[in-house]
Amino acid sequence: MSFTSQVARSPTLNESHESSSSSGLSASSTSTAPTPRSPRKNTPTSGTPSMATKPKSPAQQPPLSQQQQQNQFINTNTNTNNHNHKSRLPSKKKAPWRAPGNWQIPDIIKESWERRPMPTFNKDPPKSSDTKPLFIKRPWIPVGRSPSIVPLPPPILRVQKKPHAVFDAKLRKTLPKQKIVDSNPANTYTGLSKVGSGANGAVVRASKQGNKGGQVAIKRCFIEDRDIPHHAYVLRELKIMGCLNHPNLIQLKEATLWGDYVWMAMELMTCSVFGLLVDTTHGLPELMAVRIAKECLEGLVYLHKNYMHRDIKCENILLGRNGQVKLADFGLATPIGKVNTARLGTAKWMAPEVVGELSYKENVDVWSMAITTIEMMDRVPPLYYLEETEDIYGEILHNDPPSFNFTVPSPTMLELITWMLDTDMNRRPSANVVLTKIKQHIASGKLQCAKQSDLGAYVRRVFPNETPSRQ
């Protein structure tokens, strides 16, 4: 130990006694142990008596023994030497050590503690379901009842996303619940065979299992999630067939979304007018054409309250064995309340404003109905000889309206068709006006109209079998 540390630390009375006892003076002491001294109060560390404690007078102090006097002498000399030793030290305290050049030693412990981030406590539950609590408090069990193991809750299974979920949600908003079936059509229908095609898909004939409901016509439409416009056409067709109720509009029995297809089960008719013309060598008689046109106009008047068809032709007019007439294939139907300029339909049956992509209204179906009437009597449409679409468009836009090519109609029929084929859509009549005019001509005898039974007999003569080859 250095001299400075020895000076800075003053020995106590006990330490002085121990050091003196270990010196040569202790050797001259007797073998008898010294009597212990009584403890002193407020004993000063130096040789100078304290001012706070008044010493007792000699008369009051008891006489000291020889050993006590010797010890008192030793203690007095030791305190005096220590006091003189301290007085020789400089009174000014030594300055603490500093690094040369006034460099500051960084307090890395303090800085690291200040930079230490505070712990964050995550209050959210653990994401992993495997985490188990370390301690589970057992529930209280009533006395007298044996404890039982509480069953674990059922596992939470991830709900798999249903294919075509967006279209399925729209389908359920469009149709009534009783017309939506969620079973596999392959297990519901048998004997599927193709009978035709429509704007949105192929049409097949099928029989229901157990012969419940007889035969139906099923139209299958492929569903692509990214083709949103196609969704609108399919849903619109389903809404018209499923929600509109008219004897001259084909009815929807049920619909199923299964896999990538939506299955539309509809009434099965015997044939289409196109199928009837294909299986004959000539066109229909005028009275049969009048009957079919009149029934179609009845359906159009009802449809035009909300929609326009935009694809009237012989392929989309269905006939029953009892002479029923129904409009079908509403895949291109569109609401009347909005502006329509799209060039949609079949080219040879399009009105001039549709070809020119002008804003058109529902009387475009009247133009198409006139072309269809010519087709029924001539067996072919007026522009049958044109194959290129651009040639057909040019003929419709720049030439006179078409007329009959292979048959000679009555003057009243010719006048009626010319009226319906007015190129000015503002002068062209509506379906309701044409229907009223036809009824007047039938009542006056200017037009001959077949009965429903006569039309049914004609259909059965062409298709004697119960199931036709085409629809």
Higher pLDDT, 197 or 250: 250
Is the Cβ–Cβ distance between 266 and 217 less than 8 Å? yes
Out of 168, 182, 311, 400, the active site residue is 311
Options 2.30.110.10, 3.40.50.970, 1.10.510.10, 1.20.1440.230; CATH of 269-471: 1.10.510.10
Any idea how long the chain is? 471
CATH class of domain segment(s) 164-268: alpha beta
The domain locations on the chain are 164-268, 269-471
Nearest Cα residue to 238 out of 293, 185, 181, 320: 181
Grade residue 397 by pLDDT with cuts at 50, 70 and 90.
very high
58-62, 134-138, 196-200, 234-238: range with lowest mean pLDDT: 58-62
Q: Residue 157 has what pLDDT?
A: 62
Residue 22 has pLDDT above 80, yes or no: no
Q: Residue 47 has what pLDDT?
A: 45
Mean pLDDT of 311-334: 94
Grade residue 26 by pLDDT with cuts at 50, 70 and 90.
very low
CB crowding 241-280: b at 16 or more within 10 Å, else e: bbebeeebbbebbbbbbbeebbbbbbbbbbbbbbbbbeee
Residue 25 has pLDDT above 50, yes or no: no
Q: Residue 103 has what pLDDT?
A: 67
Residue 313 has pLDDT above 70, yes or no: yes
Is the Cβ–Cβ distance between 277 and 267 less than 8 Å? no
Q: What own/partner pairs with CB < 8 Å and gap ≥ 24 does 228-235 have?
A: 230/200, 231/167, 231/170, 233/199, 233/200, 233/331, 233/332, 234/200, 234/262, 234/331, 235/170, 235/171, 235/174
Mean pLDDT of 153-164: 66
Residue 10 has pLDDT above 60, yes or no: no
pLDDT tens digits, 274-304: 999 999 889 999 999 999 999 999 999 999 9
Grade residue 373 by pLDDT with cuts at 50, 70 and 90.
very high
**227 carries an active-site annotation:** no
The residues that bridge with 216 in the sheet, in sequence order, are 206, 267
Higher pLDDT, 7 or 291: 291
41 in a labelled binding site: no
Q: Residue 18 has what pLDDT?
A: 45
Q: What is the pTM of this model?
A: 0.65
The residues that bridge with 263 in the sheet, in sequence order, are 220, 256
Pairing assessment for the beta strands 252-258 and 215-222 based on DSSP bridges: unpaired
In angstroms, the first-to-last Cα distance of the chain is 121
Q: Report the chain's mean pLDDT, rounded to a whole number.
A: 79
Q: Do domains 164-268 and 269-471 have the same CATH topology?
A: no
50-64, 334-348, 430-444: range with lowest mean pLDDT: 50-64
Residue 404 has pLDDT above 90, yes or no: yes
CB crowding 344-365: b at 16 or more within 10 Å, else e: bbbbbbbbbbbbeeeebbbbbb
pLDDT tens digits, 47-58: 444 444 444 455
